[in-house]
Structure 1
Amino acid sequence: LDSDALYLVTGDNVRRDLGKSGIVRGNLNFHSPDEYSVVLFEDINDNFRDFVVSIADVTAGFTDEELAAAIDAQTYLEERNADTESGGDGTTAFRDMVEYGAPMMNRGDFQVTALAARRDPREATNSGELPFQLGVRMSDRTSGREFRFGIGEGALALSSQDGFGLFSDHRPETGGVNPVLGFASGGVYGMAGYRAGPQTRLNFGVSTQVQERVYTLPWSGEERSVLDGMDPYQASALFGEVTHAFDNGLELNLGYTLLLENAAMLGAQGTGAFSFDGGTQTSAVTVGASGDLPMAVRFDASATLAITRTNGFSSGVLELQESPVSTAFQLSMTRQGLVGDRDALRVSVIQPLHVESGALRYTSARITDRETGEMGVTSETWRLGGERPLFAEVMYGTPLFDGSTQLSMYSRFELTGDQANGDVSGITAGWRLSHEF
């Protein structure tokens, strides 16, 4: 079939060409994509014929599952092969965003610092973008006030839990730490915080993301759009959080995130008849806890509940029948000094963002009488969700020979879920040994 010759007819009897229509899935998974269908038409001289096509066939993405899994695994290996000596004192700390600061001004307790850090390796850097993160932090040690702005991973910059220091902890595809904020992470961000009491702190912030849906041809370096006619993904998020530290070392935090996506829903975008033009708003509540356990074990936990709404899409065929409700959580246990004084072991259980319930209604024209060729308007409900993704991850790192050598081992494996939800299918594992001469 020639996709450029196919078209669908909306409920308002408007013809929409298929060649200009499609969906990039993002984190919007259909419960039974092979069972949900659209009716397409093709003109033949003065007549036409129709086809019933599954929604899976109009969803942009990899068709080779083995290739997709290999690419995800390679990304994971690249990320985990970073230096584990990120504690700043020669100890092992599982942090990706090690910031390099340069004082710009010191006046008593007031300090202004310029910051730089590496970017998330999973995030594509398009032409004209900075290949690293930049920021400025202004803080007053006496009052506890802090103001920070920059360009980069806003989800990490706004996080109050130091135990979640990996890029993957905050991504909607791979992590369970407020992934709603992760949708709007990677662009310009700003935050302000102050002490509301001796052990209570309030933080407020905004984070943005503008990302071109492009891929680069390896032999020419040319950038091409994943789906022709698709605008860049744009999202912004407002974030507020209160954190309280108890005398026994337990720390609790409660946060609220409002995500605004322009012509998108949970990272998914469409073009033509499947456009999400009109945008969506996602409200999320996040609860977190950190504390010390016996045997020198430190735990960090986070759970998020979100609901997505819209004022309506202008595509003419899609509407939100049931507002999607999504969840995510992550529990990480870290043991410092497992074998030596400077090694560490981290074990995590992760549920990335998962749509628990929700539905889209698809309305279009199709042939209702095969004998007369009469057409009528019908609707179909597309349930959202799929199998719950659940991952386990184990990481170990240690310095050797007075810190001149670093050894790290890591493994991530899928407990439940399908490949549509999974960042890494099956098991991915590796080790790294580095030595400084």
Structure 2
Amino acid sequence: MVRKNSTLLMSVAAAALATAALNATPAAAQATSNTAGPVKPYYGNLRPFYGNLRPFYGNLRPFYGNLRPFWGNLRPFWGDTGAFYGDLKTFWATSNPVVGADAPEYARVGDFWTKAGGDWQVAFSSAISTAPDKALIDSKITTILSDSEAFWGASIQAKTGKSFTEGFLKPFLAARGIEGSDASAFSNLNQDEMAYIFLEYYDALMDYAGTDHVDHWMKTINWTPSLTKTQGSGADTRIGILDMSFTTDASIAGNIIISGGVSEFSNGHGAAVGSLIVGHHDGRGVMGIAPNAQVVAYNPFDETGTANWDDITLGVKTLKANGASIVNMSLGVPGSTFDKGWSNVFLDLGYTTQILKNTLFVVAAGNDGVTQTDNVSWLPQPLNPAVIIVGSVDVEGAISNFSNRPGEACFTRLGLCLGDKLKNHFIVAPGELILVSDGAGGTTRMSGTSFAAPLVSGAIALLHDRWPWLANFPGETAKIILDSAKDLGAPGIDPVYGVGMLDVTASQSPLSFSSLKWFSVQNGKAVAQTNNAVITRYKQVQNGTWKTTADAYFYAFEPLGLLTQRDFAIPLTSKLIGQNVTTYLGGQEQFQAYLLSRMDTWVKNGGKGAFANGFSSQSYAIANPWGMDLTMSVAPRQSRYGYRDEGPAYQSRFQIAGEKTQMVFGFGDGAPQLARSTGFASAGSYDIDRGGADPLLGLASGGVYAGMDYQIAPQLSFSAGMLSREQERQRNLEPALGVVGNGAATYAADAQRFALAYKPTADLTLTGSWTRLNEDRGLLGIQSFDPQDFRKGSTTDGYSLSVNWAASDRLSFMATGSMGRTRASDGQSLAVSKGGLTTSSFEVGFAAGDLLAKGDRFTLSVSQPMFVEKGKLDVQTVQVVDRQTGEIGIVTQSFDISGKRRIAGEAMYLKPINGGYGDVALFGRVETGSQNPGTGAEEDSYVTGARYRIAF
């Protein structure tokens, strides 16, 4: 293997001369653009590495100590990119996010690099040890090359027409001045070169992955491509880039609408910076945070590669005059984190009024490793603009040893430090070994605060895309970026990390949920409401609400300063709460208890019906002077999960029977009592979410009830009844229920039922009924935390037909079906649209005794819980009506809430044991299209269980 050293030595010498020249340049502003000025593109000691120039020489040697842990971080980085793969699938809208048909399976790319990184770690660790094992090193590198050929060979063959070795490995090594194509080509490098080449190897092979590169900075700043796509990709934002020319870079040149400057001088620095902001998501190379943003570019550097303050001033003026709301400046004066010269730039009275209104400046901190001690004279806005200063951190989140730091330097007012320090405006982002465009159609790795700053500029572009009016409020925009940062270093704002690490996702979220406000619509006017309901409900999984309202939103507003705010769209279902609200595990446990009660309903009463909710009752005859049959029954009262269990522990029923008339009244689950001719004797059959018998009756069941039957003819009887319910919900399950004045703290409803029952034979009963349900602040069992949403409640009429056939003492069949009609309503924020709502439900049951053994019981039922067949809701919300200005107003929208039909099947079997003093029971339920209480997703659900019980 022959090493070509001449190119390397020339590059190193050039870097050394350039560094010396930079450090020797005086800080004073130069008079003409053809004389070297004090402002530098920020590399200094970290001059970007082009061609064969390595970053591991001279003053960069201390950085090498920070590099080794990177390989340890690289492996879990791949392990953690499962979320990236998921996001990329969404982003590319394909199951395999590739552009080329010959790319390897993307989901396996991470596994490949996990193994390759592990093999390289072994080889590299041995290489830097005091006694390197050449055989071990070559063996591991050989394995890497062999695995690479197996995994990437087909893609390389398809793109180059050559084998892995001829089409990739030899050209890769030759471009780095290395001859040979075996393990020794790697292992014979010195330690510095060996440390870097594997990262280059990774980047080069990822060019064949068929999609854009995933880089370490993405996870660090909490950014994903799907976030960019969702927020608009910068399409409504114009960014100014004050840097070297990059119009020849095809990957980003299309975003440039205006380009100017004092020269066309370029060494790739501008292209590298620009690629991190607007790099296209096109299946290759670098992904920028705002790939669709428009760019106004200005090059202040002359042929010496430097600029004077006059050129900088003209550049800022030009960018602003061409509509840039964000200006990225990865340049500055060596030795300063934020040079005093910037104040003169911004106070140039010739154009101060043009730049102050709506421009946010992002400035790289510099690469000298210094801590600023000099104060900067700086007038408050609007006389000086909003500025964010950006430092660099390494791959582990520690401040880069080259990054300049803010220290305790002040922005002074008339020479006085009033607490406004540079560190308050200082943020950090990854700036080491960042993958960037090389300006010639390829990619390279660069380090420096130059490459941390554009990550911040891209994050600002996403803010301006989602909230365009923020472009007119640069101070408020800066506050969002700075206040959403993740704290690093000493707690709070500190002189090394400033406010901490850029967090893109956090900047898109409320800075403080306690500051949010929202509005209800009352009598056509927007009225501010408490923020507590927003806070407590914002992240909750919803239960029992209309899942089809996923496209309906209400809006919370976050005040920013005195003159503006930003809005957050929250699913309408976040305000809504149904009848069954549980935690995930709690829901499973309660559901099993519900199934047991369903089973006990029939078992304990010999298949002939039961008292209310399924508990066997104790009945007592009561003497009376009227000669009537008067009976009182009591039974334990089963509490309704999600509601406070108030009132007596037992429910009661009084029954008066005459020759043709029978009356019943009591307290508890009255639905089975008023509808007992249907044969469905369990309260669970009337549960709106779990049963299919008359759900309107079930919604009002739980309090006092009364009913009467009158026999019109031997085979025909008439019945009438009413029942009501008022229950307070458990606050510990939903914190928003504790907010004073919320609209869902109590559920109250009443219902009236009228029915005709016809018995053509002694064993067959046909029943037709009408039920009217009146709900206070509710709609079909659903309420809102906003008291204005269902302010006037709702009225629903239901019609049911039932068949109840006792085929024998051991066998019976029951069936019932219902249709409901909810009236249109108005005068409330959430109302039923014109035409009303149509609902349906049904349940079919089969019960048998002595089926497999004497005394056993078996039940089987199929039901459709209440389903909205058709209907819409009118929703009045306060939202932004002009997304350019941020103006808010009242908007009325209609949403179809007909959803996916759910079908449930239940089976239960019980066999007595121990002479009737115990039993063994099996039970289960399957439901299609049910809502997972843990995730809110629709899926088929299964619940099974068994019970062994013995009496002592």
Normalising to structure 1: TM-score of the pair? Answer: 0.85
Distance 2:898 2:552 in 1: 13
Picking from 375, 379, 384, the partner of 2:897 is 384
Q: What residue in structure 1 maps to residue 872 of structure 2?
A: 359
Say which is worse superposed, 208-217 or 255-264, in terms of deviation. Answer: 208-217
Asked whether the equivalents of residues 860 and 905 of structure 2 are also in contact (C-alpha less than 8 Å), the reply is: yes
Q: What residue in structure 1 maps to residue 949 of structure 2?
A: 434
Q: What residue in structure 2 maps to residue 220 of structure 1?
A: none
State the one-letter code of the partner of 1:390: I
Distance 1:426 1:403 in 2: 33
Q: What residue in structure 1 maps to residue 49 of structure 2?
A: none
Q: Deviations over 1:180-236 (max 9, x none)?
A: 11110000111111111112121110000001022458xxxxx99365423421100
Asked whether the equivalents of residues 4 and 17 of structure 1 are also in contact (C-alpha less than 8 Å), the reply is: no
In 2 relative to 1, CA 58–434 (structure 1 residues): closer, same or farther, beyond 3 Å? closer
Q: What residue in structure 1 maps to residue 690 of structure 2?
A: 174
Q: Which has the larger radius of gyration?
A: 2
Say which is worse superposed, 348-357 or 227-236, in terms of deviation. Answer: 227-236
Report the count of equivalent residues.
Answer: 424
Distance 1:117 1:235 in 2: 23
Asked whether the equivalents of residues 172 and 352 of structure 1 are also in contact (C-alpha less than 8 Å), the reply is: yes
Q: What residue in structure 2 maps to residue 288 of structure 1?
A: 802
Q: Deviations over 1:262-302 (max 9, x none)?
A: 11111122243653011110100011001155996421001
Q: What residue in structure 1 maps to residue 789 of structure 2?
A: 275
Is 1:189 aligned with 2:721? Answer: no
Is 1:418 aligned with 2:931? Answer: yes
Say which is worse superposed, 281-290 or 114-123, in terms of deviation. Answer: 114-123
Distance 2:898 2:704 in 1: 31
For residue 76 of structure 1, report the CA deviation from its aligned partner: 2.4
Is 1:405 aligned with 2:894? Answer: no
Q: What secondary structure, in the 3-state scheme, does the structure 2 residue paired with 1:180 have? A: helix
For residue 397 of structure 1, report the CA deviation from its aligned partner: 1.4
Q: How does 1:1-150 map to 2 (within 5 A)?
A: 1=510, 2-8=513-519, 10=521, 12-17=524-529, 19=531, 28-33=545-550, 35-56=551-572, 58-59=574-575, 68-81=583-596, 84=600, 91=606, 95=610, 96-105=614-623, 110-123=628-641, 126=644, 128-140=646-658, 143-150=659-666
Q: What secondary structure, in the 3-state scheme, does the structure 2 residue paired with 1:307 have? A: strand
Q: What residue in structure 2 maps to residue 235 of structure 1?
A: 749
Distance 1:202 1:135 in 2: 20
Q: What residue in structure 2 maps to residue 164 of structure 1?
A: 680
In 2 relative to 1, CA 197–120 (structure 1 residues): closer, same or farther, beyond 3 Å? same
Asked whether the equivalents of residues 910 and 921 of structure 2 are also in contact (C-alpha less than 8 Å), the reply is: yes
Distance 2:939 2:911 in 1: 25
Distance 1:423 1:256 in 2: 32
Asked whether the equivalents of residues 5 and 17 of structure 1 are also in contact (C-alpha less than 8 Å), the reply is: no
Q: How does 1:197-236 map to 2 (within 5 A)?
A: 197-216=713-732, 225=737, 228-230=740-742, 231-236=745-750
Q: Deviations over 1:33-80 (max 9, x none)?
A: 1x2222332322221223241325633569xx9x73422220122244
Q: What secondary structure, in the 3-state scheme, does the structure 1 residue paired with 2:943 have? A: strand
For residue 138 of structure 1, report the CA deviation from its aligned partner: 1.2
Distance 2:937 2:887 in 1: 43
Picking from 301, 325, 338, the partner of 2:851 is 338
In 2 relative to 1, CA 209–423 (structure 1 residues): closer, same or farther, beyond 3 Å? farther
Say which is worse superposed, 273-282 or 147-156, in terms of deviation. Answer: 273-282
In 2 relative to 1, CA 318–50 (structure 1 residues): closer, same or farther, beyond 3 Å? farther
State the one-letter code of the partner of 1:196: I
Distance 1:167 1:250 in 2: 22
In 2 relative to 1, CA 144–266 (structure 1 residues): closer, same or farther, beyond 3 Å? same
Distance 1:399 1:238 in 2: 40
Distance 2:687 2:520 in 1: 37
State the one-letter code of the partner of 2:685: D
Asked whether the equivalents of residues 576 and 785 of structure 2 are also in contact (C-alpha less than 8 Å), the reply is: no
In 2 relative to 1, CA 132–425 (structure 1 residues): closer, same or farther, beyond 3 Å? farther
In 2 relative to 1, CA 161–26 (structure 1 residues): closer, same or farther, beyond 3 Å? farther
Asked whether the equivalents of residues 863 and 903 of structure 2 are also in contact (C-alpha less than 8 Å), the reply is: yes
Identify unmatched segments of 5+ residues in structure 1. Answer: 218-222
Asked whether the equivalents of residues 125 and 131 of structure 1 are also in contact (C-alpha less than 8 Å), the reply is: no
Q: Deviations over 1:99-146 (max 9, x none)?
A: 211112156851212211222343466364112201211111xx2311
Asked whether the equivalents of residues 736 and 785 of structure 2 are also in contact (C-alpha less than 8 Å), the reply is: no
In 2 relative to 1, CA 252–424 (structure 1 residues): closer, same or farther, beyond 3 Å? farther
In 2 relative to 1, CA 201–98 (structure 1 residues): closer, same or farther, beyond 3 Å? farther
Distance 2:878 2:728 in 1: 33
Say which is worse superposed, 99-108 or 419-428, in terms of deviation. Answer: 419-428
Asked whether the equivalents of residues 9 and 365 of structure 1 are also in contact (C-alpha less than 8 Å), the reply is: yes
For residue 374 of structure 1, report the CA deviation from its aligned partner: 4.3
Asked whether the equivalents of residues 303 and 329 of structure 1 are also in contact (C-alpha less than 8 Å), the reply is: yes
Is 1:303 aligned with 2:817? Answer: yes
**What is the identity percentage for the equivalent residue pairs of Structure 1 and Structure 2?**
20
In 2 relative to 1, CA 244–422 (structure 1 residues): closer, same or farther, beyond 3 Å? farther
Asked whether the equivalents of residues 84 and 406 of structure 1 are also in contact (C-alpha less than 8 Å), the reply is: no
Distance 2:795 2:921 in 1: 41
In 2 relative to 1, CA 330–151 (structure 1 residues): closer, same or farther, beyond 3 Å? same
In 2 relative to 1, CA 119–313 (structure 1 residues): closer, same or farther, beyond 3 Å? farther
In 2 relative to 1, CA 233–304 (structure 1 residues): closer, same or farther, beyond 3 Å? same
State the one-letter code of the partner of 2:875: Y
Q: What residue in structure 2 maps to residue 326 of structure 1?
A: 839
Q: Kindly indicate which of the two structures has a greater share of residues assigned to strand.
A: 1
In 2 relative to 1, CA 86–382 (structure 1 residues): closer, same or farther, beyond 3 Å? closer
Say which is worse superposed, 269-278 or 8-17, in terms of deviation. Answer: 8-17
Asked whether the equivalents of residues 4 and 18 of structure 1 are also in contact (C-alpha less than 8 Å), the reply is: no
Q: What secondary structure, in the 3-state scheme, does the structure 1 residue paired with 2:531 have? A: helix
Q: What residue in structure 1 maps to residue 361 of structure 2?
A: none
Q: Deviations over 1:73-98 (max 9, x none)?
A: 20122244458496667x56774142
State the one-letter code of the partner of 1:40: A
In 2 relative to 1, CA 309–407 (structure 1 residues): closer, same or farther, beyond 3 Å? same
In 2 relative to 1, CA 435–318 (structure 1 residues): closer, same or farther, beyond 3 Å? closer
State the one-letter code of the partner of 1:308: T
Distance 1:233 1:401 in 2: 44
In 2 relative to 1, CA 196–152 (structure 1 residues): closer, same or farther, beyond 3 Å? same
Q: Kindly indicate which of the two structures has a greater share of residues assigned to helix.
A: 2
Asked whether the equivalents of residues 40 and 51 of structure 1 are also in contact (C-alpha less than 8 Å), the reply is: yes
For residue 249 of structure 1, report the CA deviation from its aligned partner: 3.0
State the one-letter code of the partner of 1:204: A
Asked whether the equivalents of residues 276 and 313 of structure 1 are also in contact (C-alpha less than 8 Å), the reply is: no
Asked whether the equivalents of residues 349 and 392 of structure 1 are also in contact (C-alpha less than 8 Å), the reply is: yes
In 2 relative to 1, CA 211–99 (structure 1 residues): closer, same or farther, beyond 3 Å? same
Distance 2:655 2:773 in 1: 24
In 2 relative to 1, CA 348–341 (structure 1 residues): closer, same or farther, beyond 3 Å? same
Say which is worse superposed, 53-62 or 361-370, in terms of deviation. Answer: 53-62
Distance 1:113 1:255 in 2: 26
Asked whether the equivalents of residues 147 and 191 of structure 1 are also in contact (C-alpha less than 8 Å), the reply is: yes
